[in-house]
Structure 1
Amino acid sequence: MDHFPTNWGRPRNELYDQYNTFPLHHRPANAQNAFADGVQRTQQPIVTGTSVLAIQYQDGIMMAADNLASYGSLARFKDIQRLQPVGTRTIVGASGDMSDFQYIQHILDELTTEEFTYGDGHDLGPAEVHEYLARVMYARRSKINPLWNALLVGGVENGKPFLAYVDLLGTTYSARSLATGYGAHIAIPLLRTAVDNASQLLTEEEARTLLTDCMRVLFYRDARSLDKYQIATVTSAGVSVSDQLKLDTKWDFAEGIRGYGSQTQ
Structure 2
Amino acid sequence: MNFMASKQPENSLLGPEADSQRTLYPYVTGTSVVALKYKDGILMAADMGGSYGSTLRYKSVERMKPIGKHSLLGASGEISDFQEILRYLDELILYDNMWDDGNSLGPKEVHNYLTRVMYNRRNKFNPLWNSLVLGGVKNGQKYLGTVSMIGVNFEDNHVATGFGNHLARPILREEWHQNLSFEDGVRLLEKCMRVLLYRDRSAVNKLQIAKITEEGVTISQPYSLKTYWDFSAFANPAQGAVGSW
TM-score by length of 1: 0.81
What is the CA-CA distance between 1:107 and the residue it aligns to? Answer: 1.1
The 8 Å contact of residues 56 and 201 in structure 1, kept in 2 or not, is answered as: no
Distance 1:256 1:139 in 2: 44
Structure 1 residues 86-105: Cα deviation after superposition (integer angstroms, max 9, x where no partner): 01211010001100000001
Per the alignment, do residues 29 and 174 of structure 1 end up closer, same or farther by CA in structure 2, a change over 3 Å counting?
same
Q: Distance in 1 between matches of 2:38 and 2:78?
A: 29
C-alpha separation in 1, matches of 2:133 and 2:233: 37
Q: Which residue of 1 aligns with 2:37?
A: 56
Could you say if the C-alpha distance between residues 223 and 119 of structure 1 is closer, same or farther in structure 2, counting changes exceeding 3 Å?
Answer: same
How far 1:52 sits from its partner (Å)?
Answer: 0.2
Partner of 1:155: 136
Partner of residue 68, structure 1: 49
Q: What does residue 128 of structure 1 align with?
A: 109
- Code of the aligned partner of 2:160: A
| Pairs aligned (count) | 233
Question: What CA distance in whole angstroms lies between the structure 1 residues aligned with 2:232 and 2:99?
Answer: 59
Which of residues 157, 167, 176 in structure 1 aligns to 2:148? Answer: 167
Alignment partner for residue 246 of structure 1, among 224, 230, 234?
224
**1:12 aligns to what?**
none
Q: Shift in Å at residue 43 of structure 1?
A: 2.1
Deviations 1:204-255 (A, max 9, x none): 1000001011111111110001100111101111111111121111212258
- The TM-score, its normalising length taken from structure 2, stands at 0.88
Q: Between Structure 1 and Structure 2, whose CA radius of gyration is higher?
A: 1
In the other structure, the counterpart of 1:142 is 123
Percent of residue pairs bearing the same amino acid type: 46
Match of 1:89 in 2: 70
* 1:191 paired to 2:172: yes
Counterpart for residue 163 of structure 2: 182
Match of 1:92, SS state, is strand
What are structure 2's unaligned runs of at least 5 residues? 239-245
Q: Which residue pairs with 2:243 in the alignment? A: none
Letter in structure 1 aligned against 2:27 = I
**CA distance in 2: counterparts of 1:259 and 1:144, whole angstroms:** 41
| Counterpart for residue 218 of structure 1 | 196
**Cα offset for 1:137?**
0.6
Structure 1 stretches (4+) deviating beyond 6 angstroms? none
Residue type of the alignment partner of 1:91: L
SS at match of 1:85: strand
**Which residue number corresponds to residue 117 of structure 1?**
98
* CA distance in 2: counterparts of 1:28 and 1:254, whole angstroms: 68
Alignment partners' CA distance in 2, 1:109 and 1:97: 19
| Residue of structure 1 equivalent to 2:211 | 233
Structure 1 residue 201 displacement after superposition: 2.4
The CA deviation at 1:158 is: 1.6
Per-residue CA distance 1:131-160 (angstroms, 9 max, x = gap): 111111111111110101000000012201
* One-letter amino acid of the structure 1 residue matched with residue 60 of structure 2: D
> Aligned in 2, Cα 1:161/1:218: closer, same or farther, shift over 3 Å?
same
Q: 1:91 to 1:258 in 2, by over 3 A?
A: same
Q: What are the ranges of 5 or more consecutive residues in structure 1 without an aligned counterpart?
A: 1-24, 261-265
Deviations 1:175-213 (A, max 9, x none): 111000111111110011111xx4x42111000001011
